[in-house]
């Protein structure tokens, strides 16, 4: 078995297929009926399959615009994980991070609120930001 690898601050990791977020939508009854009809006719296995496919199709249509915007706004695309060790390295180098992610930004559970405040200048996430409640509270004024 391979040894555990230490991640550097802001390292990009491709999200595994099982990492998903639940999304709740409101849809009109006529649109929902059409979705159910397509499921009944075998075009999709269920409502979720149809909605997921529709979202992926729209993302493909707008892929170029997304890529241009990611580059323009200097966003990290994917998963960015911040470990206690990597943030301690940032603090030792007397730097502050500006976290900008399109996807998932995760701060390890063992990161203290003090370490987060000392190393994270701002957090802007389009997607999901995971951090302990104490770290979220410590960074409350820095999260946009």
pLDDT-derived band at 4, boundaries 50, 70, 90 = very low
Q: H-type helices in the chain, by residue range?
A: 29-40, 47-61, 63-72, 84-92, 113-119, 133-138
**What are the φ/ψ torsions at residue 15 (nearest 5 degrees)?**
-65, 135
Bridge partners of 101, per DSSP, are: 76, 125
Give the pLDDT of residue 3: 39
Predicted confidence (pLDDT) per residue in 130-144, tens digit: 999 999 999 999 999
Q: Tokens at residue 83, please?
A: 């470990």
Give the pLDDT of residue 18: 56
Nearest to 81 by CA among 5, 19, 10, 4: 10
For residue 90, is pLDDT > 90? yes
For residue 11, is pLDDT > 50? no
Domain locations in the chain as residue ranges: 11-16+66-142, 29-64
Predicted confidence (pLDDT) per residue in 26-76, tens digit: 999 999 999 999 999 999 999 999 999 999 999 999 999 988 888 887 888
pLDDT-derived band at 81, boundaries 50, 70, 90 = very high
- Specify whether the CB–CB gap between 107 and 132 falls below 8 A: yes
């Amino acid at each position: 078995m391979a040894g555990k690898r230490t991640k550097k601050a802001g390292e990009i990791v491709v999200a595994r297929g099982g990492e998903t977020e639940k999304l709740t939508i409101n849809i009109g009854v006529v649109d929902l009926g059409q979705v159910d009809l397509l499921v009944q006719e075998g075009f999709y296995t269920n409502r979720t399959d149809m909605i997921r496919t529709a979202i992926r199709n729209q993302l493909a249509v707008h892929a170029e615009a997304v890529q241009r915007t990611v580059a323009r706004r200097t966003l990290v695309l994917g998963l960015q994980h911040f470990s206690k060790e990597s943030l301690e390295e940032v603090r030792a180098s007397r730097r502050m991070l500006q976290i900008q992610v399109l996807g998932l930004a995760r701060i390890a559970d063992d990161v203290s609120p003090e370490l987060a405040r000392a190393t994270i200048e701002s957090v802007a996430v389009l997607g999901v930001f995971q951090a302990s409640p104490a770290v979220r509270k410590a960074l409350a004024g820095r999260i946009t």
